[in-house]
């Protein structure tokens, strides 16, 4: 059995429910950026998301992936449960879009989304702030434009549903 890529739509109830379930049930993601000389770089981070499909993560602004983003904001993100077992129905999503430091209004949205998702976030942020004199991490907003959803139970075995995200 091979894999197939099928066009879909975010307005499809099953596709939308699958994407929401994948983002809600997973807290870690792999974030791939474009490094110097076009080389790939990947980072794993905890993320929060909002109903406009933005994903937020916190990182040190001088890290390799954040320096990459300042040069080239293109990013791909993979979200999946690493406890899945081979040979059983799989689920995951690949998201493609751009990422920028979230400042101003988006910085506030990131903070609220993170605090809602990770109950110890405010305490952790306060501890880091008191140790360093300032909070050393910055929020980043990933805005997906396209997704490939793989949810064998909900959307069919061996099938990626490819959607545009407005």
pLDDT digits (tens, 9 = 90+) for 74-99: 999 999 988 878 888 899 999 999 99
Q: What is the mean pLDDT of residues 56-82?
A: 96
Note the pLDDT of residue 131.
86
Task: Scan for tokens 């790939």, then name that residue.
Answer: 40
For the chain, what percent of residues have pLDDT higher than 70? 99
Helix or strand (DSSP H, E) at 85: none
Q: Where are the domains of the chain?
A: 4-164
pLDDT band for position 1 (cuts 50, 70, 90): low
Q: Look up the CATH number of domain 4-164.
A: 2.30.110.10
Q: What is the pLDDT of residues 113-147, one digit of tens each?
A: 999 999 999 999 999 888 888 899 999 999 999 99
Q: What is the maximum span of the chain, computed from C-alpha positions, in angstroms? A: 56
Cβ within 8 Å of residue 153, ≥6 positions away: 89, 91
Cα–Cα distance between 91 and 106 in angstroms, integer?
A: 29
């Amino acid at each position: 059995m091979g894999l197939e890529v099928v066009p879909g739509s975010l307005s499809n109830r099953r596709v939308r429910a699958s994407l929401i379930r994948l983002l809600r049930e997973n807290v870690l993601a792999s974030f791939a950026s474009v490094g110097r000389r076009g080389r790939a770089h990947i980072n794993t981070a905890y993320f929060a998301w909002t109903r406009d499909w933005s994903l937020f993560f916190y990182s040190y602004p001088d890290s390799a992936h954040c320096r990459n983003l300042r040069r080239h904001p293109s990013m791909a993100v993979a979200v999946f449960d690493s406890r899945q077992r081979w040979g059983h129905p799989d689920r995951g999503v690949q998201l493609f879009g751009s990422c920028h430091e979230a400042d101003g209004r988006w910085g506030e949205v990131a903070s609220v989304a993170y605090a809602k998702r990770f109950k110890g976030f405010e305490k952790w942020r306060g501890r880091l702030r008191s140790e360093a004199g300032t909070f050393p991490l910055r929020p980043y907003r990933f805005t997906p434009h396209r997704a490939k959803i793989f949810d064998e139970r909900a959307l069919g075995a061996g099938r990626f549903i490819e959607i545009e995200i407005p």
